[in-house]
Amino acid sequence: MDVEEYTRALAAANRHGWAFLAAYGITWLVAAMAWAKASPRTAAIVTLFQGMVALPVALAMTLLTPGPPPPHHAALDSLSVTMATGQLLGLPVVILLVLSRQYTLVPLGLVILLVVHFAPDPLSSCYELALPP
């Protein structure tokens, strides 16, 4: 299975990401409302923990929607683990921003983590060169 087939199969298995878009979109809107209505500290904490709500909701909605099982590709599964690890290593930095009361930098830190997650997508054509058939 090449990268293009894998990404198509993964998109089908994840129902083209609708559940993740819905769950994260709603929780980011709640965070935005917190920034508009609450104190910076409260808004920063809501922003920091929105993913703890969105991820399980998105996974549950995906599982409840009929679709094919997810594909497996050893190299791309390894890449997913690497990307997730990068995000986990970045979260303590964002938590440090909250603890140091630099609340307005929390959304920026989370956006950087989001870029870490999605940056490899445009580079996926480069993966084909490195992956065995």
pLDDT in tens, the chain (133 residues): 777 787 788 788 878 888 889 999 999 999 999 999 999 999 988 988 888 898 889 889 988 988 888 887 777 777 777 777 777 777 888 888 888 999 989 888 888 887 876 666 555 554 444 444 4
User: Does pTM surpass 0.75?
Assistant: no
Q: What tokens does 64 get?
A: 């409840």
48 to 68, 73, 125, 128: CA distances (angstroms): 32, 32, 32, 35
